[in-house]
Amino acid sequence: MEFTLEDISEDEVQRRREVYAPLADTVRELVDAVIRTQVSDDVIADARQRIAEVVAELQTDQIDGPYGVRYTREFTGMPWGNAVIGLRNAIAPPIVTELEPEGVRSTFTLGAAYEGPPGHVHGGVCAMILDHVLGEGASADKVPCYTGTITMRYLRPTPLGELVAQSWITERDGRKKIVHGTLSDANGVTVEADGVFIVPKTWNGTMPRAKKG
Q: For each of the domains in the chain, give its residue range(s) and CATH number, in order of start.
A: 1-94 (no CATH), 95-198 (3.10.129.10)
In angstroms, the CA 165 to CA 103 distance is 11
What DSSP element (H or E) covers 127?
A: helix 123-138
In angstroms, the CA 96 to CA 88 distance is 13
- For residue 178, the cross-strand partners are 171, 196
What residue type is 52 in one-letter code? A
Local confidence band at 209 (pLDDT 50, 70, 90 cut-offs): very low
Longest dimension (CA), the chain: 63
Residue 3: its pLDDT value, please?
A: 74
Residue 69: its pLDDT value, please?
A: 84
Given a cut of 50, is residue 102 above it in pLDDT?
yes
- Give the pLDDT confidence of 141-181 residue by residue, as tens digits: 888 888 999 999 999 999 999 999 999 999 999 999 999 99
Local confidence band at 1 (pLDDT 50, 70, 90 cut-offs): low
The three-state secondary structure class of 130 is helix
Given a cut of 80, is residue 212 above it in pLDDT?
no
- For residue 193, the cross-strand partners are 152, 181
pTM for this prediction: 0.88
Residue 205: its pLDDT value, please?
A: 59
- Asked whether 167 and 138 are in contact (CB, 8 A), the reply is yes
Beta strands 146-154 and 77-78 are unpaired
The size of the chain, in residues, is: 213
